């Protein structure tokens, strides 16, 4: 019987084969795991990228309009004075120039009708409507009186069913508002009204324009409103007035005569004054109409050639005067123009039925479509601006409007915009306000500028210290001290940035403000003292140097730095008295004309620099320390000094790693949030001054995202800011990798 004997050599080979198979399996598994992990990271980045695009895209979409209903009314009705709808778009109303109001449902049903009850023998001579959001109109009567009405909608829920009830409320109450004391008819007028004030500018029987202001005071005994009257004739009023407007705050009155608009200051009703005459004439163009934009700060002038021009007041040498700001051209022969309640949008309808939606601030034409609404009489937006009512062809046409983000355009985000009340076009970020007629200012330029400014000052502070420290630690420092210094600096990276921001805002910022001369002196004396100490050390006798062990020679600078720092702060008050009149901040502000904020770019640079230093130092130090020893030894053997070896061999070989360290630090600085949030005033300004603050993209997102309404323009623009920040970091990392690869290829032969 044959017996197979296994020799020791064959057993070893079997075990080696098994071990090799396990290693091969582990290698392949590791390779697959690393590959899958890298792919998942790439997929995650793509998902973030496309999700941000998904949220941001709607703000650049145009508007859409679709006709929901067309309801016919009596062709014999008086011309339309005002049209509109309720908030839910379940009722449309039409106010005729005779004061009659009709309410229609979209299915054509007449829901209600109102006819003003006038005294016997009194007729309606004229009518005027207020700004859209007030939904108020007035009737001028033949006896010199004025009747005020408001269109209202009540909402009730009987049986859990929403019911909207229209109502026309008489704002006169039990009072007779005799505007024209002579009792003659009010042939043409405009008005402005508040809770206890009413201002009326009207044309008298003699053709002269008069201003009357009625102020109501409640009688404490009878609880009746007692009206006091004041007024005067308007000076230099034109004889032929086609249109008249009054701002809701009752401060300004505009009279249009031909191509000229007379603007009056009527704050003092007894002494109205002509503020400005706007010459709105253009070559071969006739002014057809003018109206107030939402907020009543801007005038919209429409011309017979289809142009619409926006005017608003700009502060100048002669005070605040109206000035042409922007225009919209080629809109056709405009028959009717209407503005939204609160936003700066407006709509125009031409004689052939072309409907155009525009937004003034962003200068966007949002929509231009043809509909069966030729020869319109009037148009009006719903309170929520999601519907539009057009009176044309003896029908009320109800349009559903989707126009969620008209404020945003490329020019509004990245170009200078001339906002209402500003002296010139500017980059401004101001997303919210307490006013309903607020003009959103969503320029991302101040935020992008603030991000770059904060990163720049942080890198100016961090790069020299971290790179110089990395060079000395890796190349010159003794191994024993290095084993303590390197981990200590790396541990700094674990310090929460919120702590750094807290210390910067509450401790460092007041310290710098109080000892600013000392800080400036210290920036000069510290480098000088280090160089002088090094020079003095080189001149010491050899036996003196040997008394201090070579291992701890670096530590001799610690007392020097402490002494110089203490001395700088000690002499700070004396320097402030000698050169800055005892108050550095006032000197900078008053003498140099530089704004000084306590929480400024200097504070941010120092605080953020401490956060960035560990990142740059650790990567750069590893790159320098990893340079093969045979390169530096060979250089020294050929007679080069340590400095020559460092600059011409070590740094060149480690340059890819050093550059990567700097770019990693820059990426960290660009995305930093808490330090910037707590150590600056978060003012979105575009100034390079080190004594002024800034607002960064990251800090802005952190501050405003919790308060933004989901799906609003503000919300989506914040996501756009996040997308811009994402692009910034992507560009920095891409450039860093490209440059690193080229540096590696160039110096790999060393």
pLDDT tens track for 692-719: 889 999 999 999 998 888 888 999 999 9
Question: What SS3 state is found at 367?
Answer: strand
Number of domains in the chain: 2
Q: What is the mean pLDDT of residues 192-200?
A: 87
Tell me, yes or no, whether 323 lies in a domain: yes
Summary mean pLDDT of the chain: 87
Confidence of residue 173 (pLDDT cuts 50, 70, 90): confident
- What tokens were used for 393? 């062809």
How remote is the C-alpha of 211 from its chain's centroid? 41
Q: How many CB atoms lie within 10 A of CB 120?
A: 4
pLDDT above 60 (res 6): no
409-427 burial, b if ≥16 CB within 10 A, otherwise e?
beebbeeebbbbebeeeeb
Name 471's Cβ contacts closer than 8 Å, sequence gap at least 6: 620, 624, 646, 651
Task: Produce one character per residue of 455-490: b if its CB has 16 or more CB atoms within 10 Å, e if not.
Answer: bebbbebbbeebbebbbbbbbebeeeebeebbeebe
3-state SS string over 286-306?
Answer: CEEEEEECCCCCEEEEEECCC
| Same domain as 469, residue 403 | no
Do 216 and 96 lie in a common domain? yes
Judge contact between 394 and 80, C-beta under 8 A. no
Contact 293, 361 (CB under 8 A): no
CB atoms within 10 A of CB 712: 16
Q: 70 and 399 in contact (C-beta within 8 Å)?
A: no
Q: Give the whole-angstrom CA distance, residue 346 versus residue 292.
A: 10
Query: What are 43-52's pLDDT values in tens digits?
Result: 998 999 999 9
Q: For residue 46, what are its two tokens?
A: 């793509």
Could you tell me if residue 5 is inside a domain? no
Question: Which of 408, 424, 439 is the C-terminal boundary of a domain?
Answer: 408
Residues 503, 379, single domain; the answer is no
The pLDDT value recorded for residue 12 is 58
pLDDT of 748 over the 70 cut: no
φ, ψ of residue 43 to 5 degrees: the values are: -65, -40
Residue 176: pLDDT above 70? Answer: yes
Among 250-259, 601-610, 740-749, the minimum mean pLDDT is found in 740-749
Are 479 and 363 within one domain? no
- Does 448 map to a domain? no
How far is the first Cα of the chain from the last one, in angstroms, to the nearest whole number?
68
Specify whether 401 is located in the same domain as 471: no
Based on the fold, state whether residues 242 and 324 are members of the same structural domain. Answer: yes
Residue 168 to residue 494: CA distance in whole angstroms = 67
pLDDT digits over 464-489, tens only?
A: 999 999 998 888 888 888 888 888 88
Question: Most distant CA pair in the chain: distance in Å?
Answer: 145
Contact present, 289 and 299 (Cβ < 8 Å)? no
Token pair of 246, please? 């009054």
Predicted confidence (pLDDT) per residue in 506-517, tens digit: 899 888 888 888
SS (H, E, C) 443-463: CCHHHHHHHHHHHHHHHHHHH
**Mean pLDDT value across residues 586-596:** 85
Q: Across the strands, what pairs with 156?
A: 163
Give dist(CA 126, CA 742) in Å, integer.
Answer: 81
- CATH code of the domain in which 337 resides: 2.130.10.10
Both 368 and 501 in a single domain? no
Token pair of 101 as six digits: 């109001």
pLDDT confidence bin for 614, thresholds 50/70/90: very high
Query: By C-alpha distance, which of 297, 394, 293, 288 is closest to 338?
Result: 293
pLDDT of residue 543: 75
| Cβ pair 682, 704 in contact under 8 A | no
Looking at the chain, the whole-number percentage of residues with pLDDT higher than 70 is: 94
| Tokens linked to 705 | 């995202």
Q: Is residue 618 part of a domain?
A: no
Does some domain include residue 103?
A: yes
Based on the domain organization, do 168 and 300 belong to the same domain? Answer: yes
Residue written as token pair 């003292």: 529
Out of 66-70, 135-139, 344-348, 641-645, which region has the weakest mean confidence (pLDDT)? Answer: 641-645
> If pLDDT is split at 50, 70 and 90, which confidence band does 76 have?
confident
Cite the beta strand spans of 478-618 per DSSP E.
none
26 domain residue, yes or no: no
Q: Is 553 helix (H, G, I), strand (E, B) or coil?
A: helix
Residues 6+ apart with CB under 8 A from 712: none
The dihedral built from the CA positions of residue 567, 568, 574 and 575, taken in this order, carries a sign that is positive
User: What is the rounded distance in angstroms from the CA atom of residue 628 to the CA atom of residue 651?
Assistant: 12
Cα distance between residue 701 and residue 697, in whole Å: 6
- Where in the sequence is the domain holding 133, given as residue range(s)? 64-408
CA angle 409, 285, 281 (to 5 degrees): 90
> Three-state SS for 310?
strand
Quote the pLDDT of residue 321.
92
Helix 572-579 × helix 516-539 angle, to 10°: 120
Rounded to 5°, angle at Cα 354 from 352 and 358: 145
Confirm if 325 and 315 have CB atoms less than 8 A apart: no
CA 65 and chain centroid, separation: 28
* Mean of pLDDT values over 614-631: 89
Q: What is the pLDDT of residue 432?
A: 81
Q: Which residues contact 222 (CB under 8 A, 6 or more apart)?
A: none
- Residues 299 and 186 grouped into a single domain: yes
Q: Strand order of the sheet with strand 189-193? A: 189-193, 197-203, 209-218, 225-233
Tell me the C-alpha distance between 406 and 459, whole Å: 39
Report yes or no: 556 and 537 within 8 Å, Cβ to Cβ: yes
274 in the same domain as 126: yes
pLDDT at 4 over 60: no
Distance between CA 202 and CA 209 in Å, rounded? 6
Domain assignment present for residue 239? The answer is yes
pLDDT in tens, 663-692: 888 888 888 888 888 888 888 888 888 888
Mean pLDDT over residues 116-129, rounded?
90
Cα dihedral 614, 617, 619, 620, rounded to 10, equals: 170
Instruction: Judge contact between 561 and 519, C-beta under 8 A.
Output: no
**The pTM of the whole model exceeds 0.95:** no
Domain boundary among 364, 386, 408: 408
Domain end residue (candidates: 408, 430, 446): 408
Query: Is pLDDT of 1 > 50?
Result: no
Query: Rounded to whole angstroms, how far apart are CA atoms 168 and 148?
Result: 10
The whole-number pLDDT of residue 397 equals 95
- Residues 495-508 have a mean pLDDT of 88
**In whole angstroms, what is the distance from residue 81 CA to residue 137 CA?**
8
Locate the DSSP E strands across 64-182.
64-72, 80-85, 92-96, 101-104, 110-114, 124-129, 136-141, 145-156, 163-170, 177-178
Residue 98 lies in a domain: yes
In terms of domains, do 282 and 188 share one?
A: yes
| Spatial distance between the Cα atoms of 294 and 78, rounded to a whole number of angstroms | 27
- Does residue 307 surpass a pLDDT of 50? yes
| Maximum average pLDDT range among 7-11, 206-210, 718-722 | 718-722
Q: How far apart are CA 482 and CA 474, in angstroms?
A: 8
Pick the closest to residue 368 from 352, 348, 351, 386 (CA basis).
348
Q: How far apart are CA 678 and CA 697, in angstroms?
A: 14
Residue 440 has phi, psi (to 5 degrees) of -60, 135
Same-domain pairing of 96 and 165: yes
Structure letter (DSSP) for residue 58: G
**Whose structure tokens read 């770059």?**
452
């Amino acid at each position: 019987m044959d017996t197979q004997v296994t020799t020791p050599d064959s057993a070893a080979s079997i075990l080696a084969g098994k071990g090799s198979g396990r290693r091969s399996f582990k290698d392949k598994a590791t390779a697959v795991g690393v590959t899958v992990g890298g792919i998942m990271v790439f997929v995650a980045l793509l998902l973030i990228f496309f999700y941000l695009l998904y949220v941001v895209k709607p703000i650049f979409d145009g508007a859409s309009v679709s006709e929901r209903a067309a309801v016919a009314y009596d062709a014999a009705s008086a011309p339309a004075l005002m049209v509109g709808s309720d908030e839910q778009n379940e009722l449309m109303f039409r106010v005729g120039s005779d004061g009659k109001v009709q309410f229609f449902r979209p299915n054509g049903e007449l829901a209600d009708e109102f006819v003003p009850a006038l005294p016997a023998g009194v007729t309606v001579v004229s009518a005027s409507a207020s700004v859209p959001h007030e939904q108020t109109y007035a009737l001028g009567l033949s006896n010199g009186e004025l009747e005020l009405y408001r269109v209202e909608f009540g909402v009730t829920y009987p049986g859990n069913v929403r019911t909207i009830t229209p109502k026309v409320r008489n704002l006169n109450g039990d009072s007779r508002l005799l505007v024209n004391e002579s009792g003659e008819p009010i042939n043409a007028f405009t008005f402005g009204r508040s809770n206890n004030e009413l201002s009326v500018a009207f044309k008298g029987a003699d053709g002269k324009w008069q201003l009357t202001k009625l102020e109501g005071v409640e009688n404490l005994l009878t609880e009746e409103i007692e009206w006091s009257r004041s007024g005067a004739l308007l000076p230099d009023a034109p004889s032929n007035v086609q249109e008249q407007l009054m701002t809701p705050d009752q401060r300004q009155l505009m009279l249009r005569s031909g191509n000229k608009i007379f603007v009056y200051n009527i704050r003092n009703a007894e002494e109205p004054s002509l503020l400005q005459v706007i010459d709105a004439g253009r070559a071969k163009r006739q002014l057809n109409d003018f109206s107030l934009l939402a907020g009543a700060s801007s005038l919209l002038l429409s011309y017979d050639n289809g142009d619409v021009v926006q005017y608003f007041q700009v502060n100048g040498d002669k005070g605040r005067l109206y000035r042409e700001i922007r225009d919209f051209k080629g809109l056709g022969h405009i028959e009717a123009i209407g503005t939204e309640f609160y936003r700066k949008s407006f709509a125009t309808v031409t004689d052939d039925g072309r409907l155009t939606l525009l937004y003034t601030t962003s200068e966007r034409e949002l929509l231009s479509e043809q509909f069966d609404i030729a020869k319109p009489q009037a148009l009006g937006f719903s309170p929520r601006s999601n519907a539009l009512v057009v009176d044309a062809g003896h029908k009320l046409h109800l349009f559903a409007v989707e126009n969620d983000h008209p404020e945003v355009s490329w020019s509004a985000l990245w170009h200078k915009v001339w906002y209402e009340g500003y002296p010139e076009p500017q980059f401004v970020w101001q997303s919210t306000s307490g006013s309903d007629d607020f003009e959103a200012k969503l320029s991302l330029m101040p935020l992008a500028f603030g991000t770059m400014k904060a990163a720049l000052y942080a890198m100016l502070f961090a790069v020299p210290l971290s790179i110089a420290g990395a060079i000395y630690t890796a190349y010159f420092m003794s191994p024993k001290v290095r084993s303590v210094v390197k981990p200590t600096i790396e541990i700094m990276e674990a310090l929460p940035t919120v702590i750094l921001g807290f210390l910067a805002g509450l401790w460092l910022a007041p310290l710098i403000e109080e000892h600013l001369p000392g800080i400036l002196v210290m920036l000069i004396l510290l480098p000088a003292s280090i160089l002088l100490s090094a020079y003095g050390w080189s001149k010491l006798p050899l036996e003196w140097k040997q008394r201090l062990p070579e291992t701890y020679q670096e530590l001799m600078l610690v007392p020097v730095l402490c002494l110089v720092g203490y001395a700088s702060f000690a002499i700070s008050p004396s320097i402030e008295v000698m050169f800055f009149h005892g108050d550095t901040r006032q000197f900078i502000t008053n003498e140099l004309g530089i704004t000084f904020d306590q929480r400024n770019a200097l504070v941010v640079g120092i605080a953020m620099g401490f956060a960035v230093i560990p990142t740059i130092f650790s990567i750069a130090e590893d790159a320098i320390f990893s340079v093969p020893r045979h390169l530096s030894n060979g250089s020294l053997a050929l007679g080069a000094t340590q400095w020559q070896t460092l600059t011409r061999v070590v740094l060149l070989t480690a340059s890819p790693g050093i550059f990567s360290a700097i770019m990693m630090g820059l990426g960290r600085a660009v995305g930093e949030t808490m330090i910037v949030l707590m150590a600056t005033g978060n003012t979105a300004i575009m100034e390079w001054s080190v004594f002024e603050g800034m607002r960064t993209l990251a800090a802005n997102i952190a501050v405003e995202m919790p308060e933004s309404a989901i799906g609003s323009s503000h919300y989506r623009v914040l996501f756009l800011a996040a997308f811009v920040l994402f692009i910034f970091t992507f560009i920095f990392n891409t450039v860093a990798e490209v440059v690193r690869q080229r540096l590696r290829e160039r110096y790999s032969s060393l």
